[in-house]
Amino acid sequence: MDTKACMVICRCEEVTYGQLQSTATEYKCTARELKLRTRAGMGFCGGRTCRPAVDRIIESIIPALSPGESPLKYQPPIRPVTFGTVGENQ
């Protein structure tokens, strides 16, 4: 078994390098489409840890794509709040 294929790229969603590589190769997709197809970057961290690796995978599959042409959007984590906090009158 190829250890590189089993390497987890997106820890939040447990997406492996092999999953990303095969999806990107099969669909020749942009970083955004790869994110939607595999859920890489949709976890708790919002893609802050896996985004550079996903971008590099896309660049290796589609060499004509310039860096940053179709970047992943990422958002900082948000703290959960209770309904009581949201509904308080101020």
pLDDT category, 16, cuts 50, 70, 90?
A: very high
Task: Measure CA of the first residue to CA of the last residue in the chain; give whole Å.
Answer: 59
- Is residue 15 scored above 90 in pLDDT? yes
CB 62 within 8 A of CB 86: no
What is the pTM for the complete model shown?
0.67
Residue 43 has a pLDDT of 87
The residue to which tokens 């660049």 are assigned:
59
2 phi and psi angles, rounded to 5 deg: -75, 120
pLDDT category, 44, cuts 50, 70, 90?
A: confident
How far apart are alpha carbons 45 and 13 in whole angstroms?
A: 10
Q: How many domains does the chain have?
A: 1
How far apart are alpha carbons 47 and 65 in whole angstroms?
A: 20
20 phi and psi angles, rounded to 5 deg: -65, -45
Range of the domain at 22: 3-87
